[in-house]
Homo-oligomer: A and B are copies of this chain.
């Protein structure tokens, strides 16, 4: 299972698999910004499989790898870690930083606002 946290390189590769749904060694390699050696990519895929983050099926003479861990799951872990260790539990401070740092479209901001509205009203619901 996805207990062990992912290293930098492993995350790079998971990112490709999440984006594309699956990938062979060559496909993944081509999508990496710096295109490491073929066997390097293979090695990391094998490690990820060992860690239980992905699995493979045979496709012709090659392997096709599929994510077993959902990005939201890994993202949740990463976010709570940052929230605790860097922002000491202040989700607003964290959100403020996100809004100021990342380039987020007004459109997206609006949808995020609606999301929070929903969350708020759902919490109210629960109160009764």
Tell yes or no: A62 within 8 A of B by CB: no
Q: Do the beta carbons of B92 and A79 come within 8 Å of each other?
A: no
Whether A112 contacts B116 by the Cβ 8 Å rule is yes
Q: Is A12's CB within 8 Å of the partner chain B? A: yes
Closest to A84 in B: B15
Do B82 and A99 touch (CB < 8 A)?
A: no
A86 touching B96, Cβ below 8 Å: no
Chain A's interface size range is 35 or more
Stretch at the interface among A22-30, A42-50, A118-126: A118-126
Closest B residue to A127 by CB, please name it.
B106
Contact of A116 among B14, B19, B99 (CB under 8 A): B99
A68 at the interface (CB under 8 A from B): no
Contact of A112 with B87 in the complex, beta carbons under 8 Å: no
Please list 25 pairs of residues, one from A and one from B, whose beta carbons are closer than 8 Å in the complex, sorted by A's number.
A5-B8, A11-B85, A14-B85, A71-B87, A72-B97, A74-B86, A75-B82, A75-B94, A75-B97, A76-B97, A76-B101, A78-B78, A78-B82, A79-B94, A82-B82, A83-B102, A91-B98, A92-B111, A92-B115, A94-B98, A95-B95, A99-B119, A106-B120, A109-B120, A110-B120
